[in-house]
Chains A and B, each alone.
Chain A
Amino acid sequence: MSQPLLELQDLSVHFRVYGGYLRVLDGVNFRVAPQEKVGLVGETGCGKTTTMKTIMRILPQPPGIVRGGKILFKGKEVLRMDTGEVEQMRRREIAMIFQDPTAALNPVFTIGEQLFDAIRYATGKETDHRFLHEVAVRALEEVALPDPARILTNYPIQLSGGMRQRVCIALALACPKELLIADEPGTSLDVTIQDQILRLIHRLAEERKMAVILISHSLGVIRDWTERVWVMYAGTIVEEAETQELFARPLHPYTQALLRCVPKLTGEGIAKGIPGRIPDYFDPPSGCRFHPRCPYRMEVCSREKPRLYGTSSHQVACFLYQEGKR
């Protein structure tokens, strides 16, 4: 296998709070190959965004504390980079877009001013207005916004939610990048608009040979737009597989339960939900963090944390799949 573009090894991130620590990320392993489209799926509060913020080095510290593990981007250790190297990485290599385009844009500057700033930042040089204008117009054309010259003079409030998200994509990708982290990019939009945005991200990734990490709580979105999925539960990776494989044969009891909860178009009714609630990070369950809610729990589950079992195309962190069993 080729060298991964991004690799997380055993990443643990805690938060210092009054009276102790919130043990949020607990040994997260994650990998993205160059040009690969990867999905990170999990429910609210499972640590998806914390993981990405740690990669981008935008996790507020304190209260965040990296307790252990490594992040390797093109072989370099992200957590050991100095400020200059981090800047360089954000300018040229990794871009990020967020769930709420309204919050991501500054309401008091025009799209043009914000886009010029982004281009100046990414290219890192003083550039003349004509050059900036040219790059900005091209960036807006790339994201299929009509009449780019007019949009440059608009304020965010004059655009619809879908158009604002397109602007955010233009801001992120005005200059070439190798990896795009898209954190719930269509979640606040209508399905028809979400579909357009995801289609756009997919097209840009293909054209520019760019890797994508798509973060979503929606299994359907992940199934449609990624090649490989990592399933997260309570700060741990519970399963990883090629997308088709995961949806055809989900192995982890959590993945299986989650899939049953998704309402289907075929109308077979909805499962009862998953008993219990997501654990308290203050005092997370020992061993496998899913064990208190798991219908198949065994004695070992509360004692030891399962490692990832399986093959390179499908791995699962569950003792049910230990060698010799199943």
Chain B
Amino acid sequence: MSIPLLEVRNLQKFFFTTRGVVKAVQGVSFTLDAGETLGLVGESGSGKSTIAYTVMGIYTPTGGQIFFRGKDISMPHEKRPLALKKELQIVFQDPGSSLNPRRSIGEILALPLSIHGNHRPGTREEQVRELLRMVELPPEYVSKYPRALGGGEKQMVAIARALAVEPSLVVLDEPTSALDVSVQAKIINMLVEIQKERGLGYLFITHDLSLMRNIAHRVAIMYLGQVMEMAPSRVFFEKPLHPYTRMLISSIPVVSEDEEKLKPQKVIPRGEIPSPVNLPSGCVFHPRCVEREERCSREEPQMKEVEPGHWVKCHLTGA
């Protein structure tokens, strides 16, 4: 088997607070290949963004390892070589706060080029214009400031900035959650096209399952810092096995009858995600689970591969 682009092995990230230890990520493993999109979904507080930030080096893992092209990159951000930082880029949810309001779009896009130096002298302006062309923004935007742009356009700039240094892995942390669907559609199509052209790996984080269905090759669903189910996109949506996955899919508002048929018979969602300081015993999902049995509160289930590539962490799913 070839070496995956990204491998996360038994990753843990704890935060030590005065009120206790927050176990934001506990033992998450996955791989991501070049040209592939892995979707990480889950409710707020499930640990999705913590994983993203740990992969990026913004957080140092408490335990476990992260490999990029087979090399261990679990070290803190300052210790990462520049050449590695160039390979991993991130796009944040809120382009309003991730773009410097005092820099023009041209300056914002030129900065990564000058840091990583992968440009030929004298052509930086051309490269910036090329980046704008890639995200379908007019060339005169070079001299505009972020406040003059709409939300969708700002996110296009953030994407162009991430892609400026030609990374091989892009972490997309809810890149379209703050935007209207018509703008989201434009951005998603662009991201998919760029991925095809360049064979990029996307670690795509979102709480929007319908969006995930349309862009992720594989989906992992997280709950309280653990992956509960992971499967190829089609299987994940057509044959969800974990009760949490079923609850989540059944609560998505949809717009057509065909979609309605795909939803598991109305599992009425109940309860809320508990505090990650005081985790439930046994299976962390058991207090909200409609199918729970006695052992669910006692024993933590093991991750099982029920069919090739389809992993489920539930006592009720036979191997």
Contact = CB atoms under 8 A, between A and B. Distances in A.
B253 interface: yes
A29 B185 CA distance: 29
A219 B259 CA distance: 13
A192 B248 contact: yes
Interface string B119-162: 00000000000000000000000000000001110000000000
A260 B181 CA distance: 9
Given A192-B251, A265-B210, A273 B183 contact: yes
Nearest to A217: B180
A264 B210 contact: yes
B222 to A, nearest CB: 12
Given A190-B207, A262-B181, A273-B183, A267 B44 contact: no
Which of A192, A224, A271 has the largest number of chain B CB atoms within 10 A? A192
B185 A265 contact: no
Which of B188, B214, B237, B255 has the largest number of chain A CB atoms within 10 A? B255
Which of B237, B253, B270, B273 has the largest number of chain A CB atoms within 10 A? B253
B303 interface: no
A196 B270 contact: yes
Contacts of B254: 220, 223, 264-265
B159 to A, nearest CB: 15
Contacts of B210: 220, 262-265
Contacts of A260: 185
Given A195-B269, A220-B253, A223-B254, A263 B214 contact: yes
B180 A269 contact: no
A277 B182 CA distance: 9
Given A192-B248, A195-B268, A247-B255, 15 more contacts: A43-B180, A220-B210, A257-B182, A261-B181, A262-B181, A262-B255, A263-B188, A264-B210, A264-B214, A265-B254, A265-B262, A266-B213, A266-B258, A271-B185, A273-B189
A191 B182 CA distance: 20
A221 interface: yes
B272 interface: yes
Q: Which applies to chain B's interface (DSSP): helix, strand, loop or mixed?
A: helix
Interface of A: 43-44, 160, 162-163, 190-196, 199, 217-221, 223-224, 247, 257-274, 277
Interface string B186-215: 111100000000000000000111110111
Contacts of B272: 160, 162-163, 192-193
Nearest to A188: B44
Contacts of B237: 265, 267
Interface string B36-47: 000000011000
B233 interface: yes
B295 interface: no
A273 B186 contact: yes
Contacts of A160: 272
Contacts of B186: 272-273
B97 interface: no
Sorted from nearest, which 3 A-B pairs have the closest CB atoms?
A: A220-B253, A273-B186, A273-B185
Contacts of A265: 209-210, 213, 237, 249, 252, 254, 259, 262-263
B213 A258 contact: no
A264 B256 contact: yes
Contacts of B208: 263
Nearest to B271: A192
Interface in B258-317: 258-259, 262-263, 268-270, 272-273
B88 interface: no
A195 B263 CA distance: 14
A279 to B, nearest CB: 12
B253 A224 contact: yes
Contact of A220 (B185, B247, B255): B255
6 contacts: A194-B251, A219-B253, A259-B255, A263-B181, A274-B185, A277-B150
Given A193-B272, A258-B182, A272-B186, A267 B234 contact: yes
B184 interface: yes
B214 to A, nearest CB: 5
B153 to A, nearest CB: 8
B38 to A, nearest CB: 16
Nearest to B178: A44
A270 B180 contact: no
B32 to A, nearest CB: 20
A53 to B, nearest CB: 20
A70 B273 CA distance: 46
Interface in B80-116: none
Contacts of A193: 43, 269, 272
Interface string B70-83: 00000000000000
Nearest to A248: B257
Given A264-B254, A265-B209, A265-B262, A192 B189 contact: no
A272 B209 contact: no
A266 B44 CA distance: 24
Nearest to B263: A265
